Structure 1
Amino acid sequence: MTITEQPAAATEQRDLSWLDAVTMTELERDPYPVYERLRREAPLAFVPVLGSYVASTAEVCRSIATSPDFEAVITPAGGRTFGHPAIIGVNGDVHADLRSMVEPALQPVEVDRWIDDLVRPIARGFLEQFEDDGHAELVAQYCEPVSVRALGDLLGLKDVSSDQLRDWFHKLNRSFTNAAMDENGEFAHPEGFAEGDAAKAEIRSIVDPLIDRWIVEPDDSAISHWLHDGMPPGRTRDREYIYPTIYVYLLGAMQEPGHGMASTLVGLFSRPEQMEEVVDDPTLIPRAISEGMRWTSPIWSATARISTTPVTVAGVDLPAGTPVILSYGSANHDTGLYEAPTAYDLHRPPLPHLAFGAGNHACAGIYFANHVMRIGLEELFESIPNLERDTREGVEFWGWGFRGPTTLHVTWEV
């Protein structure tokens, strides 16, 4: 079956030997040149360092994500980091159960009930720590802390410090993206999983006692609901069953709003007149965020699908059982959809992007994440409307699986 057509010749007729030289270091520092060439020459291609086929255009990513001929699979490094059954890599009844477990608290009508009361005090608390200083590094002092604190409190981890939550997601991130494979299909750097393992041990040491309590004394925290909701009276889901999804949340769900905010700010700083528009008119913040998520997608290339039947995609014949990494960050720079996609532009005609994925494995927390980012930026611009990027410091983005600025130095007149 052919699920998408491309006008170009089949990739097997092209010389793709240049892909042999692609390294993980190159992808982590700046994946865009490699993926720009992939979109042009081979929208679906096998990338040796990843040990997997990669989809790089919006058409191919969306068609695979929504095709009945593919189902979810976790990348090898992701599986090594999260274990089974992680919500992003399962299908059928298990996926349906895990989605039914996490989705109720993330429905718009439910989020609207508590999101302001949750996030605004958190944002105000972090702003009060530096708003009189005249300078800050916003990734570490604001964007990431607001993101992890909001989700941590929602999960029931109110007694875990924001610094500890940030440390966990950074360690899980580096483990999850330790994806380089050798010529034998083995992990090239198995030692790279050690810090992720250490983070998981710390998580369990803190969360296990909480689970013990929630089993007998349920409360309104998300993890307590995960244990109890939909279960027969007197029974709870097994903790080993939900831990992989806890790890998914402590990485992907915690980093996404923070890095989405930070990338949006970097984009706005690149267009000072657009920054001024947004500060003067906060109703533009959701539009600014949408463009920031397209411009630098926080979940850049962290999800995958596997073919369930022989299928032809973009001129490439894939046997059943072939994994494909969906590079949504590349798809969001597809020149077939976006004019000058490498530029941040608040006034870009609104088009659907793939920052939150597609198909039945699209992010369950889209509404929650967008509102965390919206409230965070509203509070920031209200408190410090004269925010400027400190041009004495550069802005470096990092990451291939998950991507965002590592630092963002700013100044303002006090």
Structure 2
Amino acid sequence: MTGTPPDPLRDPRFFADPYPTYERLRAGCPVQRVAVGGGGHRAYLVTGYREAREAFAEPGLSKDAARFFAGRGSGRDLHPAVARNMLSSDPPVHTRQRKVVAPLFTTGRVRELRPFITRVVDGLTAGWRAGAEVDLVAGLAVPLPVTVVCELLGVPEADRVMVAGWSRELFDAADTGRVDAASHRIGDYFTGLVDAAADDGPLGPLLRLGREEAVSSAALLLVAGHETTTHFIGNAVLALLRHPEAFDRLCRDPDLVPGALDELLRFDSPVGVATFRHSTEDLAVGGVGIPAGHPVLVSPGAANRDPAVFPEPDRLDLDRDAGGHLAFGYGIHRCPGAPLARAEAEIALRALVTRFPDTRLAVPAESLAWRHTRLTRGLAALPLTLG
């Protein structure tokens, strides 16, 4: 009996631990067609490191989903500000938008934000006590980047929990209706914020893009500015607690935290499968031909565990040179907010290892619940017993 092959990235076991699936797919061929979603849809999936870098840099792979679905329909009802933004555009539109957004996240700008980030971390952990049980995700990993990015965008403090909730709903891959509804709440909210913005206010730089693009850029910065950082922090803490020798090493010398970030990002990337691309012409990635008009998915999560580039990839090694990881992407779409994400994770991790050096998991690692989305990899909760 024949039928539609299963989507390898939707199996419940994949969400709990995607790496055996990535390894199997990469061993078969680092660029291959797989089933995605339902209805017989297929896409090329890139799981090898060198192939992923090649795909990220390939100009024949477009990020413009609207161009791909023109005339065929996506069946979705996403708000235009969410459906069309810098992440889903190609040059020259992407180049122009990124030129305006990038200065918000320069190393110098992030350095100026570090005292604010530190105050946020101190405030969130002020009530933590040794021996208490806390959920690191709800108590720190979610509110920290939400607070920081909302501060950058001028979102009033009273609205931040609400706005963050919409952002998390946007990643609910199990319910497309809920995703679409969340996109409209975000788009409508930022339309109002942009319409009320002043040239010298937090959204002032984005206003140079015009109303529509300012709204789409603000919505993108909200979603991208906290969702992946939340997972970065949660995944990093879990990886360290599952490798007590690495955690204890950072506790003994917290100054090692900045240098550990790349290996933590490589080991369990907060981005599992990058956002949609499609071929605009006949091309080849890794020697595999991809005809024009086909969707392509590139997996940083798989690429970062490629043994051809990272020996013993399933081992967390804080001495490894992991600077070439693809957790932030590569090429023109590399995440412009990477310096901010690194600063937030560094300050959060330093606070944990400095103040609570004997922290341990409060539940077996195997019982932890993971978000069910292939795009990001992150925990629903991370219960800890503080040391």
Both proteins in one fold, TM over 0.5:
yes
The aligned residue for residue 13 of structure 1 is none
The aligned residue for residue 285 of structure 1 is 257
The aligned residue for residue 226 of structure 1 is 206
The aligned residue for residue 302 of structure 1 is 274
**Residue 137 of structure 1, CA deviation:** 0.8
Q: Secondary structure at the match of 1:325?
A: strand
1:178-237 superposed Cα distances (whole Å, 9 cap, x missing partner):
5xxxxxxxxxxxxx22222332343345433322221xx33341x332013xxxxxxx61
How large is the Cα RMSD of the aligned pairs? Answer: 2.6
Q: Secondary structure at the match of 2:336?
A: coil
Query: Percent of aligned positions with the same letter in both sequences?
Result: 26
What is the aligned counterpart of 2:114 among 113, 116, 137? 116
Counterpart contact for 2:130–2:356, Cα < 8 Å: no
The aligned residue for residue 19 of structure 2 is 32
Which piece of structure 1 moves more, 78-87 or 351-360?
A: 78-87
The aligned residue for residue 166 of structure 1 is 164
**Would you say 1:366 and 2:346 are equivalent positions?**
no
Counterpart contact for 1:64–1:305, Cα < 8 Å: no
Q: Secondary structure at the match of 1:402?
A: coil
Q: Secondary structure at the match of 1:52?
A: strand
The aligned residue for residue 9 of structure 1 is none
The aligned residue for residue 47 of structure 2 is 56
Counterpart contact for 1:101–1:225, Cα < 8 Å: yes
1:338-397 superposed Cα distances (whole Å, 9 cap, x missing partner):
222223222224341000001111111111111111112222333323322224573333
Q: Secondary structure at the match of 2:25?
A: helix
The aligned residue for residue 381 of structure 2 is 407
What is the aligned counterpart of 2:352 among 377, 380, 393? 380
| Letter matched to residue 208 of structure 1 | T
Q: Secondary structure at the match of 1:374?
A: helix
Counterpart contact for 2:117–2:347, Cα < 8 Å: yes
TM-score (norm 1): 0.81
The change in CA–CA distance for 1:173 and 1:250 in structure 2 (over 3 A counts) is farther
What is the aligned counterpart of 2:128 among 123, 130, 136? 130
What is the aligned counterpart of 2:176 among 193, 196, 218? 193
The change in CA–CA distance for 1:48 and 1:365 in structure 2 (over 3 A counts) is same
The aligned residue for residue 148 of structure 2 is 150
CA distance in 2, matches of 1:256, 1:322: 27
The change in CA–CA distance for 1:354 and 1:104 in structure 2 (over 3 A counts) is same
Which piece of structure 1 moves more, 199-208 or 63-72?
A: 199-208
CA distance in 2, matches of 1:45, 1:169: 31
The aligned residue for residue 207 of structure 1 is 190
List alignment gaps of at least 5 residues for structure 2.
none
**Would you say 1:45 and 2:32 are equivalent positions?**
yes
TM-score (norm 2): 0.87
What is the aligned counterpart of 2:370 among 389, 397, 411? 397
Which piece of structure 1 moves more, 194-203 or 328-337?
A: 194-203
| Letter matched to residue 163 of structure 1 | V
Which piece of structure 1 moves more, 326-335 or 394-403?
A: 394-403
CA distance in 2, matches of 1:353, 1:129: 36
Q: How many residues align?
A: 370
1:265-321 superposed Cα distances (whole Å, 9 cap, x missing partner):
111111212111112212211232222211111111032433333222334322223
1:111-132 superposed Cα distances (whole Å, 9 cap, x missing partner):
22x2212211111111013346
Q: Secondary structure at the match of 1:343?
A: coil
The change in CA–CA distance for 1:196 and 1:138 in structure 2 (over 3 A counts) is same
The aligned residue for residue 184 of structure 1 is none
The change in CA–CA distance for 1:151 and 1:79 in structure 2 (over 3 A counts) is farther
Q: Secondary structure at the match of 1:353?
A: coil
